[in-house]
Amino acid sequence: DQNEPNALHILANIAFSMAQFDRALELVSRAISLRPTQPDYFTTLGSIYSLKAKPKMALDAYTKVLELN
């Protein structure tokens, strides 16, 4: 379901594991838009940004994890 954030997050993790980082970013961003208080989503986001060589964006995502926990 395109409106189920947990399903989107699972799909993002699958895309991430297949090195489809742009697709993973798209999926996790959608999950975050639907449930912006889920720290696991931001952990995934930070991992994606780290591998895409975007350290500032990764740090922002990881900081959000700490704020939500």
Residue 61 CA to residue 47 CA, distance in Å, equals 9
* Unique residue bearing structure tokens 């699958």: 14
Could you read off the pLDDT of 21-56 as tens digits, one per residue?
Answer: 999 999 999 999 999 999 999 999 999 999 999 999
Residue 8 · residue 28 · CB < 8 Å: yes
- Model-wide pTM > 0.85: yes
Residue-wise pLDDT tens digits, 53-66: 999 999 999 999 99
Closest CA to 15 of 5, 3, 25: 25
Radius of gyration of the chain (CA): 11
In 3D space, the residue among 31, 25, 24, 26 whose CA is nearest the CA of residue 5 turns out to be: 31
